[in-house]
A and B are shown apart, each in its own frame.
Chain A
Amino acid sequence: MSAAERLCEAEGQSPGEGAWPLSAPAQALVRARGVPRARGALIAILALGALLLGFAVGPVSIAPQAIIGSALAHLPALHLGARLSPIDEAILWQVRAPRVILGALVGAMLAAAGAAYQGVFRNPLADPYLLGVAAGAGLGATVAIAYAGASASGAALPLAAFAGALIAVAGAYALARAAARAPGGGALVLAGVAIAAFLTALQTFAQQQRSQTLHAVYAWILGGLAGAEWRSVVLVAPYIALSCAVIIAHRRMLDVLALGDEEAGALGLNVPRVRLVLIIAATAGTAAAVSVSGLIGFVGIIVPHAIRRLVSGSYRAIVPLSLVAGGGFLVAADVIARSLLAPAEVPIGVVTAVFGAPFFALVLLRTAHVEL
């Protein structure tokens, strides 16, 4: 029986020649839920609210409607909105905007990469740093700061961190390939553990050897968005956009991968290739994000889990919603990081964990019925 005949039969138009009697005369077409509208819209609104908060909050407060008016005034051809005073314009568009946009990009990237890693490895503990991105970037940044005198504002630091992260994951993949002909999740995770331990040891050694740069190294490792400029946004946006696009395009394949290598292969999926493409995309994007923001923990692991538990277990919802929620979450965390002890800043990793952990605990308690 062809699919078209089945379509007729499933809609009850004609019973056709099917030898098997249908139990119900008219079968509703089944569908995948995808992104549920109401919850998806709620998450998008919360994320937009976080962005607006990021623009509005600071030593000089600017009203949300003034921000929207100024944004409209900047749109070409349309004569809408009203510009602010030159000082407020500068604060809004040269200081806060790059920081908010960078925060949204980094948060979205870390959460999407976390979702991809959890899917590829079928491991709830997977986060974007699983295969040694953090250790590699940390070593790269430490070497740049300790031996080459790189400063947080220069171009050398992000480059060194980016290169270190990519080399670490490439090393883990090569090691796993040498250990198993078709590296599965287990071999890769173990190779990542070995590489991360080795690089972290080198990083600690370099850090101790040049203890005068300890503070700069430590500040980078804790991560943060202070000193964000449009330059860094332009630097990382292409990597993050491409990487997120690849992960989103694979959202259905992540659901197929969730069935295990054996069944995914029997469904015609080239499992090793899909896994490699996703690892490359998630790693390159994470490395780009880390290179400008330092090691911000927790976002990549809790955001996808919160979505999984509160919205849907299908990656068709987890991937896009993690991206949106991750961006909003990191911008909100950054608002807290810069206003809690203003004018001093709290490291953003402290904020993501201090506020994220209780929130996630609440999610766990409220969704105790959901299995991992």
Chain B
Amino acid sequence: MSALRVSALEVTYGRRAVLRGLSLQAHDGEWIALIGPNGAGKTTVLHALAGLIRCAGSIELAGRTLDRSNRRELARQVALVAQRPVMPPQLTVSEYVLLGRTPHIAPFAGESRADRAAAAWALAQLELGAFGDRQLGTLSGGERQRVALARALAQEPLLLLLDEPTSALDLGHAQQALELIDSLRRAQHLTVLSAMHDLTLAAQYADRLALLDGGELVACAAPQQLLSAERISAHYGALVRIARSGGEVCVLPSRRGVCRAHAGVGVARLQAGGGEAIGGLR
């Protein structure tokens, strides 16, 4: 069964179409990474699914069409972790994670016992039990990312949207965060949609990659099939080599392109030159 079914998603800003007829399906517990160059529309997809911007088309989650006009209902099913979550420095971790219960709480009410239990559960899931009373301002980058995930998890969503979950983290913390997301989605059957820049990490963790360019979905497939030097050259304007070993795909930026660009070779030539760079370690 398909947990998420997005059909003909369109977003326009004024007269400019930023997303054109995007259709995408994900099954229960699947992780799809949205990849594509800057401005391709990755964040727009996430914001449209989170109900933050107006869009046309239909979104089905767990067999039901999402009513995007009901914000609270939507927020009970879809959680978003922003690229750089705003964390008021004097709030405690507990208070912050409890804010994730907002869509489950009547507008002027406080948290019930069940809400507090859900927040405690979310903290435990991310091994943050001992952090409850820490102020957000005292957390490190890796801890902040875990706390943001705990807040999203306290929302008890069916669909978790992550905007560049590792952009503020070093490699070690990025791996830890992605491992956590991976075990959470397996344990909770969470469908995950994440915008990612690092293609190698995206290929390692996501089941499928969805390549966007210019507001259109170019391809959606398993990393092994999707990542090729031609594709990356055509859509990112980058020269890369693709290394494959033991079922893993590794995207290696190639220095030769940078030298050419410095020598004054235009992007068109650079893209055309992408073909020469294929192969490599293949």
Offer 19 A-B interface pairs, CB within 8 angstroms, sorted by A. A3-B114, A20-B188, A22-B124, A24-B129, A29-B120, A30-B116, A32-B111, A255-B91, A256-B99, A262-B52, A266-B50, A266-B51, A266-B82, A267-B155, A268-B73, A268-B74, A268-B76, A270-B71, A370-B137
Q: Which residues of A contact B183 (CB under 8 A)?
A: 20
Q: Does A258 belong to the interface (CB within 8 Å)?
A: yes
Q: Does A338 belong to the interface (CB within 8 Å)?
A: no
Q: Does A9 belong to the interface (CB within 8 Å)?
A: yes
Residue in contact with B124 in the complex, picked from A24, A259, A312, A313, CB distance below 8 Å:
A24
Question: Once the chains bind, are A256 and B102 in contact (CB under 8 Å)?
Answer: yes
> Top 3 nearest A-B pairs by Cβ distance?
A313-B90, A268-B75, A268-B103
Question: Once the chains bind, are A314 and B91 in contact (CB under 8 Å)?
Answer: yes
CA distance A18 to B189 in the complex (A): 12
Q: Does B132 belong to the interface (CB within 8 Å)?
A: yes
CA distance A29 to B186 in the complex (A): 25
Question: Once the chains bind, are A30 and B90 in contact (CB under 8 Å)?
Answer: no
Q: Which residues of B contact A262 (CB under 8 A)?
A: 47, 52, 80, 82
Question: Once the chains bind, are B86 and A259 in contact (CB under 8 Å)?
Answer: yes
Question: Once the chains bind, are B121 and A27 in contact (CB under 8 Å)?
Answer: yes
Closest B residue to A3 by CB, please name it: B114
Question: Once the chains bind, are B52 and A266 in contact (CB under 8 Å)?
Answer: yes
Residue in contact with A267 in the complex, picked from B99, B107, B125, B186, CB distance below 8 Å:
B99
Closest A residue to B91 by CB, please name it: A313
0/1 string, B93-118, CB within 8 A of A gives 1: 01101111011110110110111111
Question: Once the chains bind, are B118 and A3 in contact (CB under 8 Å)?
Answer: yes
Q: A30-B98, A32-B98, A258-B86 are in contact. Are A23 and B127 (CB under 8 A)?
A: yes
0/1 string, B124-157, CB within 8 A of A gives 1: 1101010010010100000000000000000110
Q: A249-B108, A313-B88, A314-B95 are in contact. Are A10 and B75 (CB under 8 A)?
A: no
Give residues in B with beta carbon < 8 Å to A.
47, 50-52, 71-76, 78-80, 82, 85-92, 94-95, 97-100, 102-105, 107-108, 110-111, 113-121, 123-125, 127, 129, 132, 135, 137, 155-156, 183-184, 186-188
Q: Which residues of A contact B186 (CB under 8 A)?
A: 19
Question: Once the chains bind, are B102 and A268 in contact (CB under 8 Å)?
Answer: yes
Question: Once the chains bind, are B100 and A267 in contact (CB under 8 Å)?
Answer: yes
Q: Does A265 belong to the interface (CB within 8 Å)?
A: yes
Q: Which residues of B contact A33 (CB under 8 A)?
A: 92, 95
Scoring B85, B86, B155 by chain A CB atoms within 10 A of each residue's CB, the highest score goes to B86
Q: A266-B51, A267-B155, A268-B103 are in contact. Are A30 and B97 (CB under 8 A)?
A: yes
Q: Does A28 belong to the interface (CB within 8 Å)?
A: yes
Closest A residue to B101 by CB, please name it: A267
- Output the least CB separation between A307 and chain B (Å): 11
Question: Once the chains bind, are A313 and B80 in contact (CB under 8 Å)?
Answer: no
Q: Does A186 belong to the interface (CB within 8 Å)?
A: no
Instruction: Tell me the interface secondary structure of chain B in the complex.
Output: helix
Q: A29-B117, A30-B119 are in contact. Are A266 and B125 (CB under 8 A)?
A: no
Q: Does A6 belong to the interface (CB within 8 Å)?
A: yes
Q: A20-B188, A266-B79 are in contact. Are A29 and B52 (CB under 8 A)?
A: no
CA distance A7 to B114 in the complex (A): 6
Residue in contact with B117 in the complex, picked from A11, A249, A259, A372, CB distance below 8 Å:
A11
CA distance A256 to B88 in the complex (A): 10
CA distance A59 to B99 in the complex (A): 52
Q: Which residues of B contact A22 (CB under 8 A)?
A: 121, 124
Question: Once the chains bind, are A267 and B118 in contact (CB under 8 Å)?
Answer: no
Closest B residue to A28 by CB, please name it: B120
Q: A23-B124, A266-B79 are in contact. Are A371 and B100 (CB under 8 A)?
A: no
- Output the least CB separation between A2 and chain B (Å): 9
Question: Once the chains bind, are A10 and B71 in contact (CB under 8 Å)?
Answer: no
CA distance A259 to B99 in the complex (A): 9
Closest A residue to B43 by CB, please name it: A262
Q: A7-B117, A9-B121, A11-B117 are in contact. Are A313 and B132 (CB under 8 A)?
A: no
Question: Once the chains bind, are B114 and A6 in contact (CB under 8 Å)?
Answer: yes
Q: Which residues of A contact B95 (CB under 8 A)?
A: 32-33, 255, 314
Q: Which residues of A contact B76 (CB under 8 A)?
A: 268
- Output the least CB separation between A369 and chain B (Å): 9
Scoring B73, B82, B88 by chain A CB atoms within 10 A of each residue's CB, the highest score goes to B88
CA distance A308 to B137 in the complex (A): 14
Closest A residue to B78 by CB, please name it: A266
Question: Once the chains bind, are A265 and B94 in contact (CB under 8 Å)?
Answer: no
Q: Does A252 belong to the interface (CB within 8 Å)?
A: yes
CA distance A15 to B115 in the complex (A): 18
0/1 string, A15-48, CB within 8 A of B gives 1: 0001110111001111111000000000000000
Residue in contact with A260 in the complex, picked from B82, B110, B115, B129, CB distance below 8 Å:
B82
Q: Which residues of B contact A27 (CB under 8 A)?
A: 120-121, 123-124, 129
Question: Once the chains bind, are B120 and A30 in contact (CB under 8 Å)?
Answer: yes
CA distance A255 to B92 in the complex (A): 12
Scoring A24, A249, A266 by chain B CB atoms within 10 A of each residue's CB, the highest score goes to A266
Question: Once the chains bind, are A31 and B103 in contact (CB under 8 Å)?
Answer: no
Q: Which residues of B contact A308 (CB under 8 A)?
A: 90
CA distance A24 to B130 in the complex (A): 10
Question: Once the chains bind, are B82 and A371 in contact (CB under 8 Å)?
Answer: no
Given contacts A31-B98, A255-B88, A262-B80, 9 further A-B contacts (CB under 8 A): A6-B121, A18-B187, A24-B124, A27-B120, A30-B97, A31-B111, A259-B86, A263-B85, A314-B95
CA distance A10 to B124 in the complex (A): 9
Residue in contact with B94 in the complex, picked from A10, A11, A31, CB distance below 8 Å:
A31
Q: Does A269 belong to the interface (CB within 8 Å)?
A: yes
